[in-house]
Amino acid sequence: MAERRRVTLALTGASGAQYGLRLLECLVRADVEVSFLISQAAQLVVATETDWQLPAKPQALEVFLTERLAAAEGQIRVFGKQDWMAPVASGSGAPGAMVVCPCSTGTLSAIATGASNNLIERAADVALKERRQLILVPREAPYSSIHLENMLKLSQMGAVILPASPGFYHKPNSIDELIDFVVARILNQLGIEQTLLARWGE
């Protein structure tokens, strides 16, 4: 059997938790193995913005997500913020792509400076140093010069800055369609087939 494609998905504490959760669902449907990371602030945002009640502990969260999304055994792996032994913490074990969705301006700044103070920041640092795909989905309004400088710096290092800014030209009828607009763009970047949104001109 062919090996599953592997992607790291990190949720941080910007508004827009639903983008990250929908992306996780789409990755699971696409038979991708997901290394899932979530910050404490993101846990709070998920509780505020959605009806998902995520367990705090990584092991319990892994069981919860696997059941809720009907994922295959071992398809979703959850790692804690100080789990430095996780594959994502090293260039030799990390998946070929990482998405931070949504990406807080705090985590954006930590990635731009190479802080690596938690596993999300370290995994992003690994993606940058190994020249792997790193997709950041920031959400803030308005952006300060600090945010813009950090985004420019990261873009120049090869990261893709894909803001959570849905378009309206597909005439969305629901919030779900707005969410899917952004998630489709992320899946397109990852090169994963998606039917959420037609490509322009199709």
Task: For the chain, count helices (H), then strands (E).
Answer: 7, 6
Among residues 75 and 105, whose Cβ is nearest to ligand FMN?
A: 105
Among residues 16 and 75, whose Cβ is nearest to ligand FMN?
A: 16
Q: Is 143 annotated as a binding residue?
A: no
Q: Is 19 annotated as a binding residue?
A: no
| DSSP class of 88 | G
- What's the CA gap between 97 and 190, in Å, rounded? 8
Shortest distance (Å) from residue 176 CB to ligand FMN: 19
Q: Is 169 annotated as a binding residue?
A: yes
- What's the CA gap between 81 and 20, in Å, rounded? 17
Shortest distance (Å) from residue 14 CB to ligand FMN: 3
Residue whose C-beta lies closest to ligand FMN: 13
| DSSP class of 159 | -
Shortest distance (Å) from residue 107 CB to ligand FMN: 4
The answer to whether residues 19 and 179 touch, using CB atoms and an 8 Å cutoff, is yes
Q: Is 158 annotated as a binding residue?
A: no
Q: Is 139 annotated as a binding residue?
A: yes
- What's the CA gap between 84 and 31, in Å, rounded? 26
Among residues 80 and 106, whose Cβ is nearest to ligand FMN?
A: 106
Q: Which two tokens stand for residue 43?
A: 């846990």
Q: Is 104 annotated as a binding residue?
A: yes
Shortest distance (Å) from residue 196 CB to ligand FMN: 22
- What's the CA gap between 160 and 128, in Å, rounded? 11
- What's the CA gap between 37 and 100, in Å, rounded? 9
- What's the CA gap between 92 and 134, in Å, rounded? 16
Residues that bind ligand FMN (CB under 6 A): 12-15, 39, 41-42, 44-45, 48, 104-107, 139-140
Shortest distance (Å) from residue 36 CB to ligand FMN: 14
- What's the CA gap between 133 and 135, in Å, rounded? 7
Q: Is 107 annotated as a binding residue?
A: yes
Among residues 43 and 75, whose Cβ is nearest to ligand FMN?
A: 43
Among residues 120 and 184, whose Cβ is nearest to ligand FMN?
A: 120
Binding residues for FMN: 13-15, 39, 104-107, 139
- Which residues carry a binding-site annotation for dimethylallyl phosphate? 169, 185
